[in-house]
Structures are given as C-alpha cells and as structure tokens.
Amino acid sequence: ETGLDGWLRYAPHPAETSNSYRAISNIIVLNKSKTSPVYTAGKEVQDGLRRILGQKIEISGELSGTPSSSVIIGTVEAFSSTCGKIPEIPELKEDGFWLNTHAENDCVHILGENERGAIYGAFEYLMRLAQGNLNHVKSASNPSAPIRWVNQWDNLDGSIERGYAGPSIFFRNGEVVTDMTRVAQFARLLSSIRLNAVVVNNVNANPKLFSKTNLDGLRRIADTMRPWGVRIGISLYFDSPKKFGGLPTSDPLDPAVNDWWKDITAKVYEKVPDLVGYTIKANSEGQPGPLSYNRTLADGANMFARALKPYGDGVVMYRAFVYNHHLDESVWTNDRANAAVDYFKELDDQFEDNVIVQIKWGPIDFQVREPPSPLLANLRKTKGAIEFQVAQEYLGQQSHYVYMAPLWREILDYDMRIDDKPSVIRDIVSGERLNWSRSGYTAVLNIGSDSTWIGHHLSMSNLYAYGRLAWNPLASSVSIIQDWARLTFGLNETIIDTITKISMESWPTYEKYSGNLGIQTLCDIIYTHYGPSPGSQDGNGWGQWTRANAHSIGMDRTVATGSGNAGQYPPEIAAIYENIETTPDDLLLWFHHVPYTHRLKSGKTVIQHFYDEHYEGAAHAQTFPIEWAKLEGLIDDHRFKQTAFKLQYQAGHALVWRDSVNNFYFGKSKIPDGKNRVGNHIWRIEAEDMHLSGYKTVSVTPAEAASCGK
Ligand code: BDP
C-alpha cells in the first residue's frame, strides 16, 4: 500500500463480520446532480460498502414508495419535503448531520443540515463500518466552529514552502496543473474529516496568481473540490496593485487601489463563485503591508473585506503573524512574543465584520512548547481563528514523528481567565465565549505529490487529528489515534496498541531531545528550521532568542524586569507567569532568565535537567523502531519498511541532537554533567575518524551541528 488512500482504505472485513451485517438494498441520493456533495456521498457509500462488506449496490435518485433497507442521503430539508419531518432530529448547525443506522424499514438515514453535512455523515457511517463498529447509531453531530480550513504554502513554480512531501499538487512551472486527479483525492480526504476549505497558495504570495491562465486554473481546482464540499480560498500579495496592476501605489486608502482589488475580486468570483475568502500575510518577514504606506493593519484588512462583501460569506483571514524580524537583541526589553498584541489589541473595534484575525497558537512560531498566544485573550469585538501547523516544520519535518494532538489539546484546554471568568481557548475559538458570529480553525498543512501525502505515514495522523479536533475539540488524543490506526493500518490489537504507544510518547520525547523548559526548539533558526543548532538562536534579528551566556539562560518576559510579555495575559494568568515560583517548569525559560544552577521544582539544576532530558529523550527514541518492529507481517510490507526506516533515522538523529545540545551548553556553562556523560563518549565513533571512499572531511558551521565540528 502506498498511503494514498490515507485513512479511507476501506479494508475488507472478514466474511464472518460482513455476513453478519444486513444487506443494503439500494442507495438513494436526494440530489441527482453529479456535482453535488450528496451525489458524491452516494458514490462513496457505494464504493465503501463494496470494499468493506463486499456488497454491490445501485444508486438511485428517486425516493418513491416506501424504501426499505436503503441508505438515504440528502439534506434534512430535502428529506422532509418528500417524507415529512422527522421529529427526533434536533436543530442542526451549519455543516452538521443526523445519522440513524436503523431508521424505519431498516433504512439508514444520512441527513445533513446542508449538502456538506450529508457527505460528512456518509463518511461517518463508512468509517464506523470500516472500524468494525456496526452498532446502532442514532445521533446528531455538529461542528464546534464554522471555519475549519487548511492552508497550503504552495508556490506557483510547484515548490512548497516548508513542504516535506514533494512538489505541489496544484501548481507547476508558474501555472495551475491540468491533471486534477490528486486534487480530487485530496478533497476526499479533507471532506472525510469535515474540513471545509483549503487556501491553495503560499501566504508569501505571488500576484501572478491573477493571470488569466491561473484564474482559469483556480476555477478547475474549485470545480474539482466542490463535489466533496470543500471550498477554496487564496492568499494575496499586498503589493499586487503596484507589482502586477501597474499602479503607482498599493496604499489601502487610495481609491484606485480599492477599485483594483474590487475588480480582481470580481474576476476571481466569476471563476470561483463560492470562494471562501482571502488570507493575508502583510508586514511580516519582509512582506509589504499597510504599515509600508503608514496605514493601520485594519485599513489594509478592511480594503479586502469591502472587496469581498458583495459576494456572500467570503472572509478575510488577516494573519496576526506581524513582527519585525530585525529586532535589536541588545535591547533587553525587545521581544517578538509581544508583537501580535502590540499590533492588534488597539485595533479591536476597527475591523469590518468579515475580517477574522488568524492567530498562531503560540506567541512565536509553532515551537515544541509555547504558552498560548496572548492575543487569544485580547480581542473582544474582532473575531479570531487559531492557526495550527500540521506540517512538522520545527518538529522534525516528517523525518521525526511527533503526534501533535496532545499539544493542540493542551492549548485548546487552556483557560485564559478573561475578566476572571472561565475562558477556555476552545470556547474562545468556537465563538461561544465572546459571542463571535464566525470563527474557528485553520492549519498549515503542506501536503505534496508524494503518495504518503505528507512525507511520513505516521504523520498523516496529524492531519486526521486536526480535522477531528476542529470539529470536536474535546475528542481525546488517544481515541483519535486509535481510530486513525484502525482505519489506516488495520483492526489488530497489536497494531492499535503499538501505534498509540509510539504516538503518545512522541511529543514528550521530541521535546526532551530538542528543547526543554520552554527554551523552544533548538533547531537551526535562520534557514532550515531543522537539526540541532542551539548557537543559531541568538545573535540574529528573528527574535527566537534564548539569551544564553556563560552563566544564565532564558528570556525574561516579566513585567518587573523583562519584556512585559507576561503582562499581556489576563491578570490571573499574568500573575502566574510573573512569578518564578508559580511558573510551571516546562515554561520556566520562556518567561524567566535564570542561572544554569537554578533549581527546578524537581530539585535538579537547569543544566543537569538539560543533560538528563537529552539523554532520556534520545534513549527513548531508540525504542520506537523496536516497538514498530512488532508490526512486521501484521501490516503491508511497503508501509512497514518505509516507516521503520524513518523511525530508525529518527533514533540516530536523536543522538545527534542529544550530543549537539549538551556539548553546546557544556561549552557555554563549563558545568560538568553530574553523571559524567557529556563530552565523554569514549565508545562513540566520530564520522571524521572513519575512512569512507568518495568522502572527505570538511569543517562545518555551526560546529555543534556536526560531529566534532566536522
Ligand atoms: C514560519 C516559516 C515561514 C513562513 C512563516 C509564516 O518558517 O516559512 O512563511 O512561518 O507563517 O514558521 O508566514
């Protein structure tokens, strides 16, 4: 198996199980149009029942007479207009559905609030069957939030920024591809986990997206995804009027600039009438934006919002990821973590109602551990969406495996205590806590044309988990991974237990060998964001600093003596982080600057904790390939071997991580490891001591990224 079907393999059940399931007589779709999600759902159920249970069933478009043993798929409205209301169906939210597997006359009812809901219900039915869960189901399911998107960072030349699975499925050589096969397969996967939109191009956007050929291409993409209930959005380059439209300026208050965007928006909607909206990265990492024209971020966002207004429900996802990447490190109070609140808080009442501020989950950038972004507690009137990252940019780039549901759950479960009242982030994001009418989730995904989609078979669990949590943020990380493992690899207990064990241990393990106590992922910070490079954190303008010197380490973010970042949280939370005694150890160095000899709550010093964690983490990574080996013969050979290779690589690279980070801090602090390991690997064979034909030894910068600097 190649992985292409993801969790939608519909593996056949053994004859005993499938025979015990009642025969379905036919599938009735309440919308016969081949482009409707209801029809697609009918085809999917037909295919699924054939593959899982071996039943060959016809689809019919008519609901006539008294159906019996039929699977009936449609909207609640379409059903009740022919058959009358079903009183037990509760009020459904947008995209919600009703599933009754044992309705009247042995029928299965799959009825959505809208057509998307119907296809979601169909997938729910099939995934239950595929997991051998044939019990009676009669329930409604509703999303926690209306916005459940993914972002692709695809460039028009076919490359993908921070993509780890081959070239784009959307673009090649400056244009949208012609073959839409993978696009349809992608839409199917997204639809099955109830994600309703994908922004197809990089946030570092290229205005050539507006060429006539590419607008036609966008139409092709949208037409391909629409039958699956997936809409598309696009990222815009702020300076397009100037760089693409020939205007002298892109000033958001210039009427000609506004007209230009209105005109472009009309052209886009002509091709994609159900465009979901625009994503904007502006005044961030060298991108132009309203601040370049001495206008506010709200002026910029509102210009796009007004252009979208005539076309229905399109929204502007305006990214809060605005910061100065030339910060002066010598100024003790400078802090990139402050940027989002500094920029956006004062604009809270100035955005049009179809602007949504898209907020990365942490204040900096998808690190192995951060506190939640304080901006999530500082917007009241302006609606927000949380941004996760399924691509493991700082978490091993799909060469290491980190299952992120536990990390996301920690953030979603965090109580921000806005106005000293319960303010759990999942309730802020759903819109409930602050009465937002439209809000939700997005995630940087970056699948590519590799048959694994994402570059590592196990990392697909992150996409699955993201969809599940955006629908229901209370879903448990363990049950999500178990469901995913059953669907992706099979129902055998050893498969489920092994994958669950590796997955649940993966984040703590990676944290141990890549960056402890809230110091962030100590990877290369300038270019690749991969591999150990603790020395690259400081001495640059990017602001992911550790402020490590010979005696002490950590960012002082207190109000009393530091950058004041702790004070951006609501008072109860601010008080916790302001005080070193109440700051949890795992965020100690995020909020405080302490000597290496500072004692943690465990009694260990910071430096000894670093040494020990790196040894423990690297040692634990060695267990993953051993665990995985238990699956030999239980799953297909192809995916078994590919995954074994990745886990073996990770185990090796974890040792490189361990030694690089430990050697670096030993070098800085000169404090020996109490267990006498660091710098003492008499048994270790260094690469430069080997003789390999065809290779020569060269010096490497930074030295700690290589074996003895070579
Ligand atoms: C950073 C990525 C960079 C993105 C940026 C963003 O390294 O490639 O452009 O985020 O989110 O994490 O815009």
Pocket of ligand 1, candidates 151, 159, 204, 542: which has the most ligand atoms within 8 Å of its Cβ, to mutate? 204
Q: What confidence score (pLDDT) does residue 118 get?
A: 98
Pocket of ligand 1, candidates 150, 152, 161: which has the most ligand atoms within 8 Å of its Cβ, to mutate? 161
Q: Which residues contact 283 (CB under 8 A, 6 or more apart)?
A: 289, 290, 291, 292, 297, 322
**Is the pLDDT reported for residue 683 higher than 80?**
no
At 682, is the pLDDT very low, low, confident or very high (cuts 50, 70, 90)? low
Pocket of ligand 1, candidates 237, 323, 365: which has the most ligand atoms within 8 Å of its Cβ, to mutate? 365
Gap from CA of 116 to ligand 1 centroid (Å): 31
Placement of tokens 């192809």 in the chain: 638
At 257, is the pLDDT very low, low, confident or very high (cuts 50, 70, 90)? very high
Q: Is the peptide bond before 702 cis (omega within 30 degrees of 0)?
A: yes
Gap from CA of 138 to ligand 1 centroid (Å): 43
Helix axes 606-621, 637-669, angle to 10 degrees: 160
The residue whose CA is least distant from atom 9 of ligand 1 is: 204
Mean pLDDT throughout 319-330?
Answer: 95
Query: Residue 202 CA: which ligand 1 atom is closest?
Result: 9
**Is the pLDDT reported for residue 705 higher than 70?**
no
Mean pLDDT throughout 83-104?
Answer: 96
Please write the tens of the pLDDT for every residue from 267-319.
Answer: 999 999 999 999 999 999 999 999 999 999 999 999 999 999 999 899 999 99
Query: Residue 203 CA: which ligand 1 atom is closest?
Result: 13
Q: What confidence score (pLDDT) does residue 704 get?
A: 61
CA distance 513 to 653: 10
At 699, is the pLDDT very low, low, confident or very high (cuts 50, 70, 90)? confident
**Is the pLDDT reported for residue 681 higher than 80?**
no
Mean pLDDT throughout 423-432?
Answer: 98
Mean pLDDT throughout 515-519?
Answer: 97
Gap from CA of 458 to ligand 1 centroid (Å): 23
Gap from CA of 326 to ligand 1 centroid (Å): 15
**Is the pLDDT reported for residue 564 higher than 80?**
yes
Q: What confidence score (pLDDT) does residue 127 get?
A: 97
Gap from CA of 198 to ligand 1 centroid (Å): 17
Q: Is 676 helix (H, G, I), strand (E, B) or coil?
A: coil
Please write the tens of the pLDDT for every residue from 604-629.
Answer: 999 999 999 999 999 999 999 999 99
Q: What confidence score (pLDDT) does residue 428 get?
A: 98
Q: Let me know: does 31 contact 39? Beta carbons within 8 Å.
A: yes
Q: Which amino acids are annotated catalytic?
A: 285, 365, 393
**Is the pLDDT reported for residue 222 higher than 80?**
yes
Q: What confidence score (pLDDT) does residue 178 get?
A: 98
Q: What is the DSSP string of 505-572?
A: HHHHHHHHHH--TT----B--SS---SB-GGGSSSSTT-------SSEES----TTTS-SGGGGS-HH
> Residues, the chain, total?
710
Please write the tens of the pLDDT for every residue from 65-90.
Answer: 889 999 999 999 999 998 999 999 99
Domains and CATH numbers, the chain: 15-141 (3.30.379.10), 147-475 (3.20.20.80), 514-555+593-677 (3.90.1330.10)
Query: Residue 529 CA: which ligand 1 atom is closest?
Result: 7
Q: Let me know: does 175 contact 200? Beta carbons within 8 Å.
A: no
Residue 132 CB burial class (10 angstroms; 0-12, 13-18, ≥19): middle
**Is the pLDDT reported for residue 586 higher than 90?**
yes
Helix axes 405-412, 477-489, angle to 10 degrees: 150
Alpha helices, H only, 538-683: 571-578, 588-591, 606-621, 623-629, 637-669
CB-defined site of ligand 1, < 6 Å: 161-162, 203-204, 281, 285, 321, 365-366, 393, 529
**Is the pLDDT reported for residue 21 higher than 90?**
no
**Is the pLDDT reported for residue 569 higher than 70?**
yes
3-state per-residue secondary structure call for 20-38: HCCCCCEEEECCCCCCCHH
Query: Residue 161 CA: which ligand 1 atom is closest?
Result: 8
**Is the pLDDT reported for residue 709 higher than 80?**
no
Q: What confidence score (pLDDT) does residue 11 get?
A: 96
List the structure tokens of 100.
């009754």
**Is the pLDDT reported for residue 416 higher than 90?**
yes
Q: Which residues contact 119 (CB under 8 A, 6 or more apart)?
A: 37, 38, 40, 41, 44, 112, 191, 228, 229
**Is the pLDDT reported for residue 684 higher than 90?**
no
Residue 318 CB burial class (10 angstroms; 0-12, 13-18, ≥19): buried
Q: Which helix (H) or strand (E) holds 443?
A: strand 440-444
Gap from CA of 688 to ligand 1 centroid (Å): 35
Q: What confidence score (pLDDT) does residue 702 get?
A: 67
Gap from CA of 285 to ligand 1 centroid (Å): 8
CA distance 667 to 682: 18
Percent of the chain past pLDDT 70, that is, above it, reads 99
Q: Of 357, 467, 419, whose CA–CA distance to 124 is shortest? A: 467
Pocket of ligand 1, candidates 153, 160, 285, 525: which has the most ligand atoms within 8 Å of its Cβ, to mutate? 285
**Is the pLDDT reported for residue 421 higher than 80?**
yes
The residue whose CA is least distant from atom 10 of ligand 1 is: 365
Q: Of 392, 395, 390, whose CA–CA distance to 463 is shortest? A: 390
Gap from CA of 552 to ligand 1 centroid (Å): 29
Pocket of ligand 1, candidates 164, 199, 203, 366: which has the most ligand atoms within 8 Å of its Cβ, to mutate? 203
Q: What confidence score (pLDDT) does residue 687 get?
A: 75
Gap from CA of 381 to ligand 1 centroid (Å): 27
Please write the tens of the pLDDT for every residue from 112-154.
Answer: 999 999 999 999 999 999 998 877 899 999 999 999 999 999 9
**Is the pLDDT reported for residue 492 higher than 80?**
yes
70-75 β-sheet, strand order:
59-60, 26-29, 70-75, 107-112, 97-103, 138-141
Q: Is ipTM > 0.90 here?
A: yes
At 64, is the pLDDT very low, low, confident or very high (cuts 50, 70, 90)? confident
Q: What confidence score (pLDDT) does residue 622 get?
A: 98
Gap from CA of 679 to ligand 1 centroid (Å): 35
The residue whose CA is least distant from atom 2 of ligand 1 is: 162
Q: What confidence score (pLDDT) does residue 695 get?
A: 84
At 701, is the pLDDT very low, low, confident or very high (cuts 50, 70, 90)? confident
Query: Residue 162 CA: which ligand 1 atom is closest?
Result: 8
Q: Of 62, 147, 673, whose CA–CA distance to 387 is shortest? A: 147
Lowest-pLDDT range of 24-28, 89-93, 515-519, 705-709:
705-709
Query: Residue 284 CA: which ligand 1 atom is closest?
Result: 13
Q: What confidence score (pLDDT) does residue 302 get?
A: 98
Please write the tens of the pLDDT for every residue from 173-212.
Answer: 999 999 999 999 999 999 999 999 999 999 999 999 999 9
